[in-house]
């Protein structure tokens, strides 16, 4: 999630009381179907930026949704409370793709509040 605003505004990203699932019985590569063996991450770390795109994707130019369109700010904090991560028993999925709980956004600036 990206939070945006002027650099003087304090922002808070909160994730609480959530159940986040990793590998499940739903196969990524079932027999007789297209295989969708892709990297899986529970959370792409929150970021605070000076400006951002609209929350809802409105057209092809807004993709990828996680691409940052402005510089980072120092006015943000994140808060994680009472979250449960389920079925992250391995760093790989059954089809061999990487699986992790936290991931950084490759488009973010260097500072990520935690």
pTM reported for the whole predicted model: 0.65
Residue 27 belongs to some domain of the structure: no
Nearest to 4 by CA among 99, 95, 109, 87: 109
Residue 30 belongs to some domain of the structure: no
pLDDT of residue 33: 86
pLDDT in tens, 51-103: 656 666 676 665 666 666 666 666 677 888 999 999 999 999 988 999 999 88
φ/ψ (deg, to 5) at 49: -130, 155
| SS3 state at 81 | strand
Residue 8 belongs to some domain of the structure: yes
Residue 83 belongs to some domain of the structure: yes
Residues 6+ apart with CB under 8 A from 112: 45, 46, 47, 104
Distance CA 98, CA 37 (A): 9
Residue 113 belongs to some domain of the structure: no
Residue 66 belongs to some domain of the structure: yes
Residues spanned by the domain of 95: 2-21+38-103
Residue 42 belongs to some domain of the structure: yes
Number of domains in the chain: 1
Residue 50 belongs to some domain of the structure: yes
């Amino acid at each position: 999630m990206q939070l945006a605003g002027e650099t003087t505004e304090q922002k808070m990203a909160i994730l609480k009381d959530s159940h986040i699932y990793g590998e499940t019985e739903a196969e990524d590569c079932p027999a007789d179907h297209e295989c969708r063996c892709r990297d899986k991450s529970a959370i792409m770390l929150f970021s605070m930026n000076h400006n951002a795109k609209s929350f809802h994707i409105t057209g092809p130019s807004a993709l990828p949704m996680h691409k940052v369109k402005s510089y980072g700010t120092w006015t943000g904090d994140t808060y994680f409370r009472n979250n449960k991560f389920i079925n992250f028993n391995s760093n790989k999925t059954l089809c061999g793709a990487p699986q992790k709980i936290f991931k950084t956004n490759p488009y973010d600036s260097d500072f990520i509040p935690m």
